[in-house]
Amino acid sequence: MTTQPLEKEMTPIHWTAHLELLAALLSGILIAVAWSVGKSGMEQASILLYIVAFLIGGFAKAKEGIEETITDKQLNVEMLMVFAAIGSAVIGYWAEGAILIFIFAISGALETYTLNKSHKEISALMEMQPEVAWLMHADGTVSQVSTESLSVGSILLVKPGERIPVDGCIVKGSTSVDLSAINGESVPVSREKGDDLFAGTVNMSGAIQMEMTKPSSETLFQKIIQLVQNAQSEKSPSQQFIERFEGTYVKVVIATVLIMMVLPHFLFGWDWTTTFYRAIVLLVVASPCALVASIMPATLAAVSNGAKRGILFKGGLHLEHVGTLKAIAFDKTGTLTTGKPVVTDFIVRGGMESEEVLALLAAIESQSNHPLARAITNYASEQGIRIPPAPQIEDVPGYGIRAFVGADEYLVGNPRFVGEDNVHSFKDDVAKQLASEGKTVIYMKDQEGILACAALRDTLRPEAARAIRDLKQLGIAPIMLTGDNQLTASAIAKEAGVSNYVSECLPEKKVEEIKHLMSEYGTVGMVGDGINDAPALAASTSGIAMGDGTDVALETADVVLMQNNLNRLAYAVKLSRKMQRIVKQNIFFSISVIVILILSNFMQVVDLPLGVIGHEGSTILVILNGLRMLNLIDKE
């Protein structure tokens, strides 16, 4: 779905909330004037003012109710309120009918306000997306063009202080970038040649040249907008039940009111005025306005709250599910870990200079695109090593690299390539120790034997251990599923604080493990980022994708962590559980008020004014209670 239609929706929703509130307030003023005029003896003028108050305050809801009744071919809550207000006027209770319309209009304005708040985050994001960019041409000239006219591969100039127009990577220059629109962090981060850039973030310092890597319709911002838009249009099971229940309930209320207009006169000896009056009061107090408003405002507010903090729920259904999770399974690479190997140990043969050997190894590895080779080259650069010109090399797929420096030959690769016997004789079999720590070891061999070895490991995300600890405190069991071997899995699991893990897990085995966990725990989440995680994400109760994951993972998941911050998992669970508490509070409260008011009406204890205040007051209270979901969850 494109975002353009959504952009056109924003302003009407925003102004509708203001207009509804203005109409309600004007209706209230007219009611006060009409009451004052009536007290001075001008009954006809008072009734006329009440009628105007009816029309102004009730127009929006009456129009909505009539249109929905025609479309759905069944009565709704709005029509009950219209009937109740007309019934009140018919028996001479103009003020009470007008007050009913006034409070109903206020509650309607509050609901529209909630919807407006839930759209606000998308609107803010859309405003951050630049509409123009500086395109660099082959002759070196620069011209300003629309971002929609750009194509993948375009080279763009981004000046200091400008928002980055599209997703891409730096091809020239370095700068610091304000990523707060993406990750919520106020501290700018450094970006150099080859680093990724995201549309809508701000170039803080140097002028840079970037290459566009994604169409403007597929940027990270567009994903956020589409996901939140989908979430707002998808209703939770609770909301769907309430809406189905509403139609049946309204019919029952109408039938009961019609019976109430006749039966008490014969059963209890009430006069016709009292009988009709009590039927109108029943029509007011039995209307399920508060019950209907118990869920949707809270759900929309929760979705908005999550979106503001980088947690995108793809609908109320998934928002509800997250709070029920008893266990969460994590993929390892790219989820619990950064997915980028780094050098943790570099050991050289006795009598050799470490810096000299590292420089030679980096020169050899600099000609390879393998992730391990890049990690070694980066490590050398970080150590301040000047990398010499690359020697002549011969790539041996699956094993390593054979390099020639003058008359000397060097082998760089795994134990099978450099010789198992040589590996075992090196430094008291250091390979076994490093492997036991879950590290991958690359060896460098010369004519005399093993010259050096570099141990690499995919590092744990900085927030992973805390995220696991927070989930445990919420009563959720963490499990790690990884395709790595037992030693690597054990080391990472221990570091992350995960006691239950499964190693050598292929995609089909991950699905089997998820099904097994669901039979054990009932409700299980799955967090992943790759194509191989997609089947498990789909099989789980709640699939949760990392924001920088593959498109397949993002499309399959039910929840997306746009900031790739695992700490947001605990926040999502707390958000869902708080929403469920608020919804339960609202439902219990609204049903209790309806029951009390109905019983009080039969006992002739409550009159129409009190019935109006009790009914509509409860509706406003549940909406306001739902709006609490907009607040930051305590102890995030």
Catalytically active residues are 331
Rg (CA), the chain: 33
Residues facing 169 on adjacent strands: 196, 211
**Is residue 527 within 8 Å of residue 322, measured between CB atoms?**
no
CA proximity to 528, closest of 519, 511, 516: 511
Structure tokens at 299: 């759900």
CA proximity to 263, closest of 252, 275, 273, 254: 275
Amino acid at 253: V
**Residue owning tokens 């020169």:** 363
Long-range contacts of 516-525 (CB under 8 A, 24+ apart): 517/327, 517/329, 517/479, 520/327, 521/326, 521/327, 521/477, 522/326, 523/321, 523/324, 523/325, 523/326, 523/327, 524/325, 524/326, 524/327, 524/328, 524/329, 525/322, 525/325, 525/327, 525/328, 525/329
| Terminal CA-CA length for the chain | 33
Distance in angstroms (rounded) separating the CA atoms of residues 336 and 333: 6
Question: What would the DSSP string read from start to end of 623-634?
Answer: HHHHGGGGSPPT
Which helix (DSSP H) or strand (DSSP E) does residue 410 occupy?
A: strand 408-413
Structure tokens at 593: 């008020």
CB within 8 A of 205, min separation 6: which ones? 160, 175, 176
